[in-house]
Amino acid sequence: MESDLHIWTQFRSGDKSALSYIYHAHVKLLFRYGKKFTSDSDLVKDTIQDLFFDLIRTRGNLGDTDNICFYLMRSFRRRLAVNMKKSESRFRREFYETQPLIDYSMEDNLIGQEFMAERYRFIHNGLKELNPRQREILFYRYTCNFSYEQICELMSLKYDSARKLAFRAIESLRRMVDDSVFIDK
């Protein structure tokens, strides 16, 4: 598999297969991410379309990136906020007054197994007990594999605050989830 930097460079030079790869590799994640901020699917789809249209239009002026997913999510979040401001006031309240609901789910094939279903239930219940910011930071850190610097930029946090928030979220989960669930019997 090629590196993000190489794929991005190909895209910037006009390679249509690189554009196709970037789009197909990230469009579903961007849609799910946008749905965490608003229930308006059409607004999310339009924002994704606008994002890719502008990327294509300005690709010659874009800088390098070694993490395409982070670049797209950061750009998408900014663009979605602008589009929501232009939209009805209901959407503005959704974006600015609520945190995205980050909901974790296990793979379907693991849920089918009784032991994994039990683990899932404990973890899911534990995540529900976390506040929205804690769920959001865990999503970025462990699902998206973003660095703390990237998380700080997305969540408008200072580096120490981000690390402290993640640490407290994990500590809360540890207290909520019975350790015996994770011991193979």
What average pLDDT is seen over the chain?
80
> What is the reported pTM?
0.60
Q: Any idea where the domains of the chain sit in the sequence?
A: 4-97, 108-182
Give residue 178's pLDDT.
56
How many angstroms separate the CA atoms of 84 and 69, rounded? 22
CB 77 within 8 A of CB 150: no
Sign of the C-alpha dihedral computed for residues 39, 41, 46 and 47 taken in this order = positive
For the segment(s) 108-182, the CATH number from 3.10.20.30, 3.90.226.10, 1.10.10.10, 2.40.160.10 is 1.10.10.10
Lowest-confidence range among 40-49, 85-94, 148-157? 85-94
Q: Per mean pLDDT, which of 3-7, 26-30, 117-121 is the most reliable? A: 26-30
Task: List all residues 6 or more positions away from 137 whose beta carbon is below 8 Å from its beta carbon.
Answer: 151, 155, 162, 165, 166, 169
DSSP annotation of 36 reads T
Distance CA 35, CA 18 (A): 26
Q: pLDDT confidence of 28, banded at 50, 70, 90?
A: very high
pLDDT for 103-119, tens place per residue? 555 444 444 456 656 76
Query: Per-residue pLDDT tens for 110-162?
Result: 444 566 567 667 777 777 888 888 988 888 888 888 889 999 988 899 999 99
C-alpha distances in Å from residue 143, one per residue of 100, 126, 158, 159, 173: 15, 17, 21, 19, 16
Q: Do domains 4-97 and 108-182 have the same CATH topology?
A: no
C-alpha distance from residue 75 to each of 37, 144, 156, 171 (Å): 14, 15, 14, 31
pLDDT grade for 102, boundaries at 50, 70 and 90: low
Enter the tokens of residue 76. 């998408």
Overall fold of domain 4-97: Rna Polymerase Sigma Factor; Chain: A (1.10.1740)
Q: Compute the distance between CA of residue 31 and CA of residue 16 in angstroms, rounded to an integer.
A: 22
Q: What is the rounded distance in angstroms from the CA atom of residue 99 to the CA atom of residue 102?
A: 9
